[in-house]
Structure 1
């Protein structure tokens, strides 16, 4: 399995997420380098899972982009997907 050259960072650039009529978050920016962690907290329905889905390309942001190794993940397609591991959760009952 090949690796994308320079994949030392995951960047969120001006991310916005609107679900239905509700704005969950906007103008969100962060950079995570290899070995770094980001803690995401918030109330139910605040956009935590939406952010994770956007970060791994499972959901399109309303605006902005996610970059892996400096490249938009939407343009990387199969190269990015081969390296992705996403463990989601079941919705609450």
Structure 2
């Protein structure tokens, strides 16, 4: 059985997308070590712990509101992108 690092080396994805949660931290750190591009999306106004940890390792941080950018002070300004929250057309 192949570990996470082994799998990432074998598959070599172009990008890793993180939606948050503690299970996303190891793949994001591994992607940084393997020089695989990665992004994280925070759908809440206040970022959770996993997103705050991941923000140090990802290439882009996608946030829903302009005001959410303040939680990522000290990072490269171009790293944070306000995208809003994706929703179905029904809404």
In the superposition, the TM-score normalised over structure 1's length comes to: 0.30
In the superposition, the TM-score normalised over structure 2's length comes to: 0.30
Q: Which has the higher strand share?
A: 1
Larger RCO, structures 1/2 (Cα 8 Å, 6+ apart): 1
